[in-house]
Amino acid sequence: MAQVLLAILIASLLAVAHSSIPSACFNLQPFYIELSSKVPPMLQKIQETRVPNKGEYLDVGRTAGIDLQTLEQLRNQWLHEFNWETEQAYLNMFKHFTAEIEGLTIHFIHEKSGYPDAIPLILNHGWPGSFLEFLPIAKNLTERTNASNGRAVSYDVIIPSIPGFGFSSMPPANWTTVDTARIYSILMTKVLGYDTFAVHGTDWGSSISYILYDAYNATARAAHFSFLPLFALTPSQLLDINITLDTDLERFEGERYVEWSNTGEGFFAEQSTKPNTLGFALQDHPMGQLAWIGEKLIDWSDPRAGTAPSVLTTNEILRSVSLYYLTGTFTSSLYIYHQNPHGFGTEYIKARTDAPMLFSAFKYNVAFWPQKLVAKVGNLVYYRNHDFGGHFSGVDNPPALLQDLREIGAYFK
């Protein structure tokens, strides 16, 4: 009898210990980036790559893809100026961790504000993005400032790498953004112990964030988007539902979306249908990855990229491509397209939540959602349209994204 009681006592003590140290079963570990040994062979390949000679290609500028002059300039910079050691030292100044969730290793940055009322905020990147996209604002978000209504606001910032990207493990074949949302919910509530949190998403990250906003409405208590997991509408489709584009900026954005749909979406079909062919072709080809990824980073951004307030410099492009190449995740990052054939929807219906939603549009983003359209899918409380920046707003216009994210603090309950 006494033994049984003792066993029960021990079991319940263990249970208590377990819930008060929730991360114990997730193997939460600090993480440091160490890819230095892979850099010399990468540079060797960059050096040896033969690009087309004159007479082997048509010099038509950017109309048929990335132009060769840009590619060659980037190569020179990669070989002679870019320094991975400097980048790595900088990246390791952030607090990285890994945790095991449902058999996957999930890498994430976790920067805490130190204020007891800080709002936990998870920032979700897409393709060809990565956790790098949010570094220009990661520490700033932890600082205490005021939202426009005067409420004090600071954040605990969580930036995970999507399964298949960066230092997170590759997901199984049947993995979808619904699964990623579920394990991110576990990351926020069980691994890190937050009761409620806010989400931000762009590109595929907007799919993950929207699922959290819609299906985890007790814990995901605010959402900010700079993209939606829904196909945007052309100006004429918008007219059909009585939404007009009223300013020069909006008309520009509407036309840019039409243009991008016609000339910029080939990659989407290829990555959705034949990711392995593309992956095997470029997995061990840094210059090939630079051409494929670099074209998107350039074309989807503001043409003023690299000049203030943009920090999307050529060095940033090389850092992004280096991360894909050195982590060997080019192929695995493509699967998100293959695994989510319906990841971008067409039905604009309201999320099942009363939590506030905020949205930021950027002039050179590849798709545009006017305010009235965004309002159909959530409890829209804040909408801004910026005339500078593009698809990667964390690097393309960090001050604007920072300011808009701080507005979550005006509404978060």
Ligand X SMILES: *[C@@H]1O[C@H](CO)[C@@H](O)[C@H](O)[C@H]1NC(C)=O
Residue number, 285 or 372, with CB nearest to ligand X: 372
Specify the residue, 155 or 292, whose C-beta has the smaller distance to ligand X: 155
| Residue 337 designated active-site | yes
Helix (H, G, I), strand (E, B) or coil at 407: coil
Strand partners of residue 293? none
Residues 252/363, Cβ–Cβ less than 8 Å: yes
Distances (CA, A) of 344 to 231, 243, 337, 348, 364: 6, 21, 10, 11, 20
Minimum CB distance to ligand X smaller for 37 or for 174: 174
Q: How far is CA 390 from CA 149, 196, 331, in A?
A: 27, 30, 25
**Would you say 79 or 308 has its CB closer to ligand X?**
308
CB of 193 to ligand X, least distance (A): 22
Query: CB 80 → ligand X: shortest distance, Å?
Result: 27
- Judged by the rule CB under 6 A, the positions of this chain that interact with ligand X are 137, 140, 145-146, 150, 172, 174, 217, 241-242, 352-354, 398-399, 402
Q: CA 56, 58, 64, 70: dihedral to nearest 10 degrees? A: 80
Options 156, 203, 214, 299, the catalytic residue: 203
Minimum Å gap between C-beta 278 and ligand X is: 23
Residue type present at position 226: S
Residue written as tokens 């992956």?
279
Nearer to ligand X, 140 or 196 (CB): 140
**CA–CA dist 249, 25 (Å, integer):** 50
203 a catalytic residue: yes
251: exposed, middle or buried (C-beta count within 10 Å: 0-12, 13-18, 19+)?
Answer: middle
User: In the complex with ligand X, which residue's Cβ is closer, 75 or 221?
Assistant: 221
Q: Smallest gap, in angstroms, from Cβ of residue 21 to ligand X?
A: 28
Q: How far apart are CA 286 and CA 322, in angstroms?
A: 8
| Smallest separation, CB 194 to ligand X (Å) | 18
342 counts as catalytic: no
β-pairing, 356-364 vs 220-225, is parallel
Q: How far is the CB of 57 from ligand X (least distance, A)?
A: 40
Alpha carbon separation from 64 to 35, 59, 68, 266, 314 (Å, rounded):
34, 9, 11, 12, 21
Closest distance to ligand X from the beta carbon of 175 (Å)? 7
Work out how close the CB of 221 gets to ligand X at its nearest, in angstroms, rounded to a whole number: 10
Q: How many CB atoms lie within 10 A of CB 35?
A: 19
User: Peptide bond before 128: cis, by omega within 30 degrees of 0?
Assistant: yes
Instruction: Identify the three-state secondary structure at position 224.
Output: strand
Could you say which of 155, 213, 324, 337 is catalytic? 337
Q: Which of 205, 204, 211, 253 is nearest to 233 (CA)?
A: 253
How distant, in Å, are the alpha carbons of 161, 204, 257, 283 from that of 165? 6, 12, 27, 13
Given 96, 125, 386, 391, the catalytic residue: 391
Encoded tokens for 353:
């939540």
CB of 79 or CB of 178, closer to ligand X = 178
State which residue, 16 or 178, has the beta carbon closest to ligand X: 178
What positions carry a catalytic annotation?
203, 337, 391
